[in-house]
Amino acid sequence: MKESTILVVDDEEMNRNLLVQMLTCFVPGTFRIVEGVDGVEAVEIARRERPDLILLDLSLPKKDGWSAAREMKDDAATRGIPVVAVSAHTMIGDRESALASGCDDFLSKPIDKDELRRVVGRWIGRPERA
């Protein structure tokens, strides 16, 4: 089985590190993890790397996550890459807003390790494990 690539985009280093740690400790499989710090970089890395999954913070500098998701879904080269919004925006309508911008799924912060495992498994075909 090929190693999956996951793009983790968050402008807060601590949040990126936590997500990377959770992926490597709690999600079965081996991943190559690529990191980005803003929406512009997210789009550039997605086009260059063609990851199997993108975990995208919505509150990003230079280009917010909603705009980055829309741009990736409008581009034939990146349209098929699943984008999961990872956000502290958890008010009514925030999930719907992320999905309307092109995100395929939504994880709220703080990240629950079991939910992360389910979501990653759903989008890159890894079996869920307890």
* Cα separations in angstroms, 57 against 1, 18, 30, 89, 127: 28, 13, 22, 10, 25
pTM of the complete model: 0.89
pLDDT at residue 44 is higher than 70: yes
Q: Kindly state whether residue 130 falls inside one of the protein's structural domains.
A: no
Output the domain CATH number for residue 69: 3.40.50.2300
Span 84-123, pLDDT tens digits: 999 876 667 777 888 888 899 999 889 999 999 999 999 9
Q: Kindly state whether residue 69 falls inside one of the protein's structural domains.
A: yes
Q: Kindly state whether residue 53 falls inside one of the protein's structural domains.
A: yes
Domain count, the chain: 1
Q: Kindly state whether residue 127 falls inside one of the protein's structural domains.
A: no
Could you tell me the residue range of the domain that residue 76 belongs to?
4-122
Q: Kindly state whether residue 129 falls inside one of the protein's structural domains.
A: no
Q: Kindly state whether residue 40 falls inside one of the protein's structural domains.
A: yes
Q: Kindly state whether residue 93 falls inside one of the protein's structural domains.
A: yes
